[in-house]
Every structure is written in structure tokens, then in C-alpha cells.
Structure 1
């Protein structure tokens, strides 16, 4: 028995070597990662059927039967592919054993099929890769079942019993151990895949963090140059190129292959039509130039390509996956850049449209006030006209810009001066402002719309007018703004709708725009409206502190709204 155990172990080593070689194959890695096609499954069935058949041929003839490692192929096929694959491979290997003949042919054929099915059932209920200890136990159960079937089916019984006494324990130990070793090899492949994927993820995260600020400017020669340099320094390739549909935007690496980037091949375009990468192996004299080309899209429209080159070696699966990942990254960022550009254009058009129609009622009323002043107070009319001119000029001058709080307050004072000229003592204003905050920067027209709402919708509807209290206070890393009036107040139902998008009243639009602008700059910033019909309204919000050195850096991200 010991001698048989040793010989079986030696014979199994050939299958173990085959298992190791198999584990290096790309299709095998796809199978164990569940990224498998019907073609890959067909190859899997053929290979493991052959392993089962080879296990029979390298077996040891004993008393009209064969001590063998046939079960390894079907059992592993089941543990990898599930019940159907395990059953099919077991049936093929079992049928082959049955056709060889011998008094154990039928029992061995049936047991081989069942053992493949057992492996598949374990796979079905064991969602992850089957642990080697489970595989070892499955092998013991399968081989024990085979011995039972030999005793049950094979005749004469005395010969079957004699055979089982000789081959039972060696086959159970060797084949169970072989199945366990096979699963350990597979685990090593999984570990390798995990290492590769984590390395790729790290590379992609690194490239992403470095390229996002540039890609968001769109696809042009300047951004392509920076991005291609970052990619070249981050991954181990010999050259990197980024093209649009007509020209090479940027190239770094092997100067003598730059001409390979000039034109898109028909085969490349066909691959891109299905959003696939294109791999090319081009022999140059005695050398080899291998490349992978990935398409760059913007809203499903092909806008360019990314090319990675290797000299005197083939691009590998890692290169291909990195190219796919970079293609998706750049394509997504191009879409974001385009969306942000469209949003900026839309906001500019919106502001220009609003500025072109500055509240005509306010303007006409102000001019009428000037006309009435001319009759009995020419000096006051002159001052009022100058103030109105400054007010209108500042609204246009500061549009879309960041200004100091003191400048915003100057424009609010101009507005209040004009309104007080019309309504006199109906409008009272109280200010409580920390002087050291006056040189902080905010987007223009951030406070003014709230003050205008307080005057127009809060105080003026009241017969006796009222008071507007403007507070600007330090609040750690924020500035706390507060505009409060003792006017008409806002009904509860209207109050709930004000911060909702596209709320239609002039008051709602003004407050909603301020809210949106604050959230676009610092999402989650404190913003609160307190109001009760007949008891006034209070708008309180926090805004981050920005000093002069920050204003140019962040000005491009500001959306422009107007309350009128």
C-alpha cells in the first residue's frame, strides 16, 4: 500500500505541473474571476476533461482495474465552474473510463460523473473561491463514494473487496491532497490578481488626482501635454500619445514611432465603434513595436485616442486594463469639463439677460423721484442721479466677480439712499458690522438681494414702514450674515417653497439664488429663514472667510444670480 501511495503521488505530480501551467493562462484567470465567455467555458470543459482522461492513462493497473487520479479533473471543474460544468466534465472523463473496460468500468464511470457534480454543488453554495480545506474534504467524500460504488456494483464482490483494500486509502489520500493543492494554486492566482488590481487602482488614483485639474480644461495641446507626461511618469511604458481625430496633441517617449499616431486605422475605428481598445504588434526590422490604443469619448462621441507603446515586447493584460481605465477616466472628465463649460455659458447668458432688464419699475420710479426733486431740491436731484448712476454701474461692473464686503455695503447704501428718497421715514436701517470683516471677499450681489427683498416685500407694504437690521459678525472660519426686518413677513406655505428651485415669485427667486450660490461654494453651509406673517422676516447664513489672496483662485467657480 505504501509503495502504491508513493507511485500515485509521483504520477500526480505531472497533473500538478499541468495545473500550474494552466493557472498562468489568461482564460483561466477570467474563469476564476467570473469574467468568462462561452468560449472560455468551452476551453475549460475540454482542458479538465483531458486532465481526467490523462489521470486515467497515468494510473497504475491493479487486479484488472486502475488506481488513478482521474477524479481531480472533474472535481476541480465543478469547484470552479458549478454543477453543469462539473457534471459534463465528469461524464466525459467517466465515459472514457467506461469505454476502456474492466470489471470496475461501470462503477468508476458513474462515480467520476457524480464526483464532478459534487464539486459543482459545493461551488453553488460556496460563493467565493472554495477553500483548500473544503476541497480536501470534498475529495475524501468523492473518493470514498467511488470505493462504495465499486463494492456495490462491481462483480465478483470478492475481487472488488480485494481491490478496495489495496487502492482505497492511497487514492483517497493522494487525490484529496491533489485537489487541495490545485485549489491552493488557484488561490495563488487570485492573490496575484488582487495584487495587480490593487497596483492598478493605486496608479489610477494617483493619475486621477494629478490630471483632473488639467483635463477639466478640455482636450487641447496644452492639457494633453501635461496629462501624457503624468501618465508616462506613472506607468512603465516606452511612449504615450494623446490625439484628437486629426492630429497628435501630445507625445512623449520614443521619437521614432511618433508617425504611428498620425492617422486612425480602419481596424482601430471598427474597434472603437464597439468601445473596445485596439492592440497592435508591429514588427520593425528585427525589433517589435507593440501598442494599445484606447478611445476617448465625450457623450458617446469619439473625440480622440490614448496610445501606450512598448518597444521589443508585447503589451500585456495590465497595459490593456490601464489603458481602459485611463480612457474611462479622461472621457468622464471631458464630459464633466463640457458640462461645466455649458453651465458657465448658461449662467453668463442668464446674468446678461437679467442685467439687460434691471427692474424697470425700480428704474422708472427712481427717475421719477429725480424729476420731482429737480423742481424743489436741485442739489438733492443731482446727488440722487449720481447715486443711481453709481448703483447701476456697480451692478454691471461687479457682475460675476468677488468683491470686498465693504464694496457690497456701498452698493446696498446706494440702493437704500434711492429708496429712502422716495419713501422717506418708512425705511429705517440699522447696521451691526465687525470692522475687521470689511476686507473679506464675497461674490457680488450676495447680501444685496436679501436687503432688497426686505425693503420691497417686507417694509414697503406696511403703512408705517419699518426697520431693516443688517448684521455681519465673525463666526470662527465663517462670516455670519443676518438681514432682519419687522415687515409683513412670509406665509408658512410660501416659506417652505422659497429654497426650492424655480420658485416663481420675485422674492422666492432672490432668496433661492442666494441659497444656491452659497451651497455651490460651500455645500452644507448654514442657511435659515425665519418668518411669521405680520411679524417680519429674518434671513441668516454663514459664508466661508476668503482673503484677498484667495479671490482669484476661486472666482471661476462662482455662479452669478440676480434677484431682480
Structure 2
């Protein structure tokens, strides 16, 4: 390569390097210009609030306050921020100002309005009209703007605490309904099962022993004291034990058809969801029917959901009576029907309640749809 060729090559390289640097500078300049200062401030505010929200959704206690306070302090933009309940401070981000703020906190909690002094602002936290605590802001220049910010943040924190209380109330409601369901099904089932077992004690002791073991396993599952959820496989195993005991009582009068897709066996379902519907079909549909009857239990894979149906060819019911029972307008003779419907709606939403098809003399079919996502850990 001659001197001229080398010079040309160096010039080309220099131009390429310059173009590369220019391109990089343009791209970085555009990146810095993406979004206005207001847009970036809005994003930072929403992001900080999102970081504080999960802890607040667990309720107002020392641990949730410890996790949320750093984000709330950043959101308010003050050197010291604390949170109290109605009994006293739960935590501080910054300097512990307990002694200097107690009097102002007491006034804010009593009157439910933001209180301020030269360096302290106290904004009350309320849930459904009840004052449950306060946000305390300490700054050497406690301006009116800072007071408005503290009040707005307190309002947002209050909304998160209301969601936490709503979640706790829904959980407590489900637990109460589950206890009521256990109490409702136990007397009838225990009476009939023990009667059936007793009938075999003299004539077939080995059969009586097997039935007694089935009874023990069934009741152990039904009355366990932990876990709001189970798998469909566990629920179906409990149903199988129940039907073994009922067949001992009904003999050839009870025919059972089961069709379950293997891929839905691991599905998580609310505890005692399907079992009460099966008991209802036997007790209120087939038991009252003269002659033999058939119970059909089907669990199908339906894309993002599992479709479960319990059908009997028993005596059926008046559709209006069933609608009234599900709506809570009247007491229902059906074991657990309204209870299961309410719990399904609580967990999955109102569009996942029971669908009941029935008419006098034409049997009953109850259908439910269970989403395949897992709402909680199975115990």
C-alpha cells in the first residue's frame, strides 16, 4: 500500500469514527429528551407509591410501617416521617421525634383533621370514617405546601388501609362460611354413616371395619382446621369416600358416574367446594326419589378454566326456590348450595357463581367454573 492509499484509509477510518460518535451523541441526546420534567416527576411519584402499596395492603402494624416508611418519606420529600396508630408511634424514617410530636398527634387523632406547627405536620389516617392513626412529618420549614402534600399522602395511605381491611373482612367471611358449612353438613352425614356402619357390624364385620376407616378419613378431611384451599384431586378423593359410605346405605339404588380430565386434578379449588354439591345431590335429589338414581360428576379442561358439573336424575326443585336461596332471600334446605356460591364469588368474582338447572321431577345439574390460576398456597 502506497502513502496515498494509507492516507485515504486513515481518512476513511477517521470519518467512520466521527460518524459513530455523532450517532451515539444524537441517540443519547434524544434519550435525555424523552419525556418532560413533569412526565418524569409523575413517573417517579407513581413508582414510589407503588413500592409502598404492598406493605400497606397488609394493614397498619410495625412491620408494614417499617417497609413502607422509606418510600413514604421519599414521596413526601421531608427529612423525617413517622406513622402512628391510635396507641402511639409505629415507626420513623429519619429522627425519632416521639417526644416533640405527641401533643399534636393527640389533637389530630381526636379531631380527625390535619394539624401543623412551625416544624411538625400531622395528617390523620382513617378507614371507613374511623381514625386509625396518623402520618407525622417533621421539617424545619413546614410550609403550607408540605401540609397539603402530607394530607394527600395520608388520604392515599388511608385508601390502601381500607383495601387491607376489606381483604381481611373477605377472608374472615370465607372462614366463617366454611365453619358454618362444616356445622351444617356434619349432623346429617354422621347420623347416616354411623347407621350404615352399624348395620354391618353383626353381618359383615370386615365391611363395617372398612367403612369405619372411610368414615374416619372423610371426617378428618372435612373438619381439618387449616387451609382455605385444596386440590381438586383431594376434593375428589374425599367425595369418593363419601360415596362409598352412601352406597353402603343406598345399595343398588345409587349409581355413580365419574369423568375427570387428568390435567385438572392438580387444580387449586376452595376447600369444600365440590363435596357439598355432591352431598346435596344425594340428600335432596336421589334420597327422595323412589327407585334407583344416578349421580354424575364431571370435571373437564376448558382452556383457562376447569368446568365442573354435578348432576342427578332425582326429584328436582322449583327453580324460583333455588334462585331465592342463592340470592339470600330465603333459607335453603340444600346443604351448602348458597354457601359454596358465595365463597366462589368471593374468591373469583361474581361471574363465577354456581349455575343451577332444575325443575320438579327432572333432576338437578349444578355447574361451576374454576380458573386455573392459583389464588393462594395449598396447605
Aligning the two structures, in what range does the TM-score lie when normalised by the shorter sequence? 0.7 to 0.9
d(CA) in 2 for partners of 1:273, 1:200: 35
Q: Secondary structure at the match of 1:375?
A: coil
Matching residue within 295, 308, 329 for 2:137 = 308
d(CA) in 1 for partners of 2:114, 2:39: 22
Matching residue within 69, 81, 87 for 1:228 = 69
d(CA) in 2 for partners of 1:456, 1:304: 51
d(CA) in 1 for partners of 2:220, 2:87: 46
Matching residue within 288, 291, 294 for 1:464 = 291
Match of 2:273 in 1: 446
Matching residue within 228, 237, 248 for 1:401 = 228
Q: Is the 8 A contact 1:477 1:544 kept in 2?
A: yes
Q: Is the 8 A contact 1:215 1:227 kept in 2?
A: yes
Q: How does 1:289-308 map to 2 (within 5 A)?
A: 290-308=119-137
Q: Is the 8 A contact 1:398 1:444 kept in 2?
A: no
Q: Is the 8 A contact 2:174 2:343 kept in 1?
A: no
Match of 2:201 in 1: 374
Q: How does 1:384-399 map to 2 (within 5 A)?
A: 384-397=211-224
d(CA) in 1 for partners of 2:179, 2:345: 22
Q: Is the 8 A contact 1:465 1:487 kept in 2?
A: no
Q: Answer with 203-212 or 473-482: which moved more.
A: 203-212
Matching residue within 67, 73, 78 for 1:237 = 78
Q: Deviations over 1:37-93 (max 9, x none)?
A: xxxxxxxxxxxxxxxxxxxxxxxxxxxxxxxxxxxxxxxxxxxxxxxxxxxxxxxxx
Q: Secondary structure at the match of 2:326?
A: coil
Match of 1:525 in 2: 352
Q: Secondary structure at the match of 2:282?
A: helix
Change in Cα spacing, 1:248 to 1:234, as seen in structure 2 (3 Å) is: same
2:102 aligned with 1:264, yes or no? yes
Gaps of 5+ in 1: 1-194, 282-289, 557-564
2:337 aligned with 1:511, yes or no? yes
Deviation at 1:328, TM superposition (A): 2.1
Q: Secondary structure at the match of 2:249?
A: helix
Number of matched pairs: 343
Change in Cα spacing, 1:408 to 1:398, as seen in structure 2 (3 Å) is: farther
Over aligned residue pairs, what C-alpha RMSD do you find?
A: 3.0
State the TM-score, normalizing by the size of structure 1: 0.55
Deviation at 1:388, TM superposition (A): 0.7
Match of 2:26 in 1: none
Matching residue within 344, 360, 367 for 1:540 = 367
Match of 2:117 in 1: 280
Q: Is the 8 A contact 1:480 1:542 kept in 2?
A: yes
Q: Secondary structure at the match of 2:59?
A: coil
d(CA) in 1 for partners of 2:98, 2:320: 66
State the TM-score, normalizing by the size of structure 2: 0.80
Looking at secondary structure, tell me which structure has more helix per residue: 1
Q: Report the structure number with the largest CA radius of gyration.
A: 1
Match of 1:482 in 2: 309
Q: Secondary structure at the match of 1:461?
A: coil
2:53 aligned with 1:212, yes or no? yes
Larger relative contact order, structure 1 or 2 (CA cutoff 8 Å, min sep 6): 2
Change in Cα spacing, 1:262 to 1:511, as seen in structure 2 (3 Å) is: farther
Q: Secondary structure at the match of 1:420?
A: helix
Q: Is the 8 A contact 1:210 1:230 kept in 2?
A: yes
Deviation at 1:196, TM superposition (A): 12
Q: Is the 8 A contact 2:285 2:316 kept in 1?
A: yes
